[in-house]
Amino acid sequence: MAGLCAAVRARELGLDTVIYEKGERVGGSMLLSSCVVWRYRDLATFRELCPGGDEELQREVIERLDDGLAWLRGLGVDVVWEETGNPLTVGLRFDPRSLTHALASAVGEIRLGEAAPQDAEPLLLASGGFQGDRKLVRQVVHPDGELLLRANPWSAGDGLRLAVARGAGVSSGMDEFYGRAMPAPPAAVPEERFVSLAQLYGRHALVLDERGDEFAPDPVSWSETDLVQAIAQRPNASAWYLVDEDALDVEIRGRSVGEMVEAAREAGGEVLLPNELGIEVPGTYRYAVHVIAGITHTVGGVRIDLQARVLREDGTPIHGLYAAGADAGGIATGGYASGLASALVFGRIAAETAALA
């Protein structure tokens, strides 16, 4: 998302661009996403719900997103929802194929299957975070088991490594990630089902780890990101969601809890009766659903300033090096914010900064 937005904006400003896309297709995780591009209603809400994030970067997202959304509309992208349906947020839901197509048609050269050259200048790092590098995730996020990768497979920390090698500092929140609880193995979770298989009802469930110990943030946040991060710290990065009969009819983002449970079962996930668990269950529940923490993108990353310039530890910018999207960290630390929104905002800003340099 960030790289495509930057390239389109850069061309509007008269620059030549080349997109190096390591994967076999364009669109990265954006193409797999629900494609709701949103911001919190105001900075105070952003601060409250992502308290560890950089306030100035958050302000920039609040102030610049609406322009970015209008710009995407102007490129002819199909809008699916005119609002997010969440009173805390404003934004649009786009069709991810239409968004990818509109952006990819407006950029110049795209070199598929090629990683960006290390020494290009100016260079925008937009490799999408480091969730695809299992070893790095183990070292930095330190989950208590292998997380399920709920993202494109190519975002494996190349931007972060390149920036750090050139002396960049890193942001807050390096051990945080955004993700969803997903049906645990042996469930089959192909990328086209990353959205439909999400188990987004932890706050309506009793959450036990595999030893039978109850755990969960209290209360669980609206996005459930905190719960998913807590699951990651439990044995096998897994949990059981126990749901009672009443919860099955609860609607969340257009789907009932019962439908989400059914989707897990159909995918081959473990959906058991509580007495089949082999652990003591307090209370009466209809189903026990085995879930695993799925990682969508990392929250921490390269440190940037308001011009999307990569910063050294001492706060000085590194000449000709920019970062945006999930490569640029510390915007949503302590909570969850739209990754597509920051990719759009800072991707466009990077192009504008480069055009003035």
Ligand X SMILES: Cc1cc2nc3c(=O)[nH]c(=O)nc-3n(C[C@H](O)[C@H](O)[C@H](O)COP(=O)(O)OP(=O)(O)OC[C@H]3O[C@@H](n4cnc5c(N)ncnc54)[C@H](O)[C@@H]3O)c2cc1C
Task: Please identify the residue of the shown chain whose CB is closest to the bound ligand X.
Answer: 339
- Work out how close the CB of 87 gets to ligand X at its nearest, in angstroms, rounded to a whole number: 17
Residue 296 within binding range of ligand X, rule CB under 6 A: yes
Give the residue, chosen from 53, 128, 183, 258, that forms a contact with ligand X under the rule CB under 6 A.
Answer: 128
Which is nearer to ligand X, 38 or 285 (by Cβ)?
38
Q: Which part of the chain contacts ligand X (CB under 6 A), choosing from 31-39, 75-83, 223-231, 315-323?
A: 31-39
- Work out how close the CB of 163 gets to ligand X at its nearest, in angstroms, rounded to a whole number: 12
Nearest to 8 by CA among 357, 356, 344: 344
| Residues 338-357 interacting with ligand X (rule: CB under 6 A) | 338-341, 343
Residue window 193-232: x/- pattern of binding to ligand X, with contact defined by CB under 6 A: -xx-------------------------------------
Residue 333 within binding range of ligand X, rule CB under 6 A: no
Residue 35 within binding range of ligand X, rule CB under 6 A: yes
Which is nearer to ligand X, 29 or 247 (by Cβ)?
29
Q: What are the DSSP calls for 175-236, one per residue? A: T-EEEEEEEPTTS---GGGTTTT----GGGSEEE-TTS-B---SSPPTT-HHHHHHHHTSGG
Residue 165, CA distances (Å) to 114, 119, 169, 173, 354 in order: 20, 11, 10, 20, 21
Residue 115 within binding range of ligand X, rule CB under 6 A: yes
Residue 166 within binding range of ligand X, rule CB under 6 A: no
Tokens matching residue 116: 């960006």
One-letter identity of residue 201: Y
Residue 158 within binding range of ligand X, rule CB under 6 A: yes
What is the residue whose two structure tokens read 């051990």?
175
CA 313 from centre of chain? 25
Give the residue, chosen from 61, 65, 99, 116, that forms a contact with ligand X under the rule CB under 6 A.
Answer: 116
Q: What are phi and psi of 302, to 5 degrees?
A: -70, 145
Instruction: Enter the DSSP assignment of 305.
Output: -
Instruction: Enter the DSSP assignment of 238.
Output: E
Tokens matching residue 307: 């011009």
Contacts of 100 (CB under 8 A, 6+ apart): 4, 26, 27, 30, 31
Which is nearer to ligand X, 210 or 305 (by Cβ)?
305
Residue 58 within binding range of ligand X, rule CB under 6 A: no
Residue 297 within binding range of ligand X, rule CB under 6 A: yes
Which is nearer to ligand X, 253 or 319 (by Cβ)?
253
Residue 326 within binding range of ligand X, rule CB under 6 A: yes
Q: Where are the beta strands (DSSP E) in the chain?
A: 18-21, 36-40, 79-81, 89-94, 109-112, 123-125, 148-149, 177-183, 206-208, 238-243, 251-252, 255-256, 271-272, 287-298, 309-311, 317-323
Give the residue, chosen from 8, 10, 17, 28, that forms a contact with ligand X under the rule CB under 6 A.
Answer: 28
- Work out how close the CB of 103 gets to ligand X at its nearest, in angstroms, rounded to a whole number: 10
Which is nearer to ligand X, 189 or 242 (by Cβ)?
189
Residue 30 within binding range of ligand X, rule CB under 6 A: yes
What is the residue whose two structure tokens read 């209603």?
41
- Work out how close the CB of 188 gets to ligand X at its nearest, in angstroms, rounded to a whole number: 15
CA distance 295 to 282: 29
> Could you tell me whether strands 271-272 and 287-298 are parallel, antiparallel, or unpaired per DSSP bridges?
antiparallel
- Work out how close the CB of 28 gets to ligand X at its nearest, in angstroms, rounded to a whole number: 2
CA distance 344 to 170: 21
Residue 23 within binding range of ligand X, rule CB under 6 A: yes
Residue 310 pairs with which residues in a beta bridge? 304
- Work out how close the CB of 196 gets to ligand X at its nearest, in angstroms, rounded to a whole number: 9
| Residues 64-103 interacting with ligand X (rule: CB under 6 A) | none
Give the residue, chosen from 155, 171, 172, 229, that forms a contact with ligand X under the rule CB under 6 A.
Answer: 155
| Residues near ligand X, by CB under 6 A | 1-3, 20-23, 28-30, 32-37, 115-116, 126-128, 150-152, 154-155, 158, 194-195, 296-297, 325-326, 338-341, 343
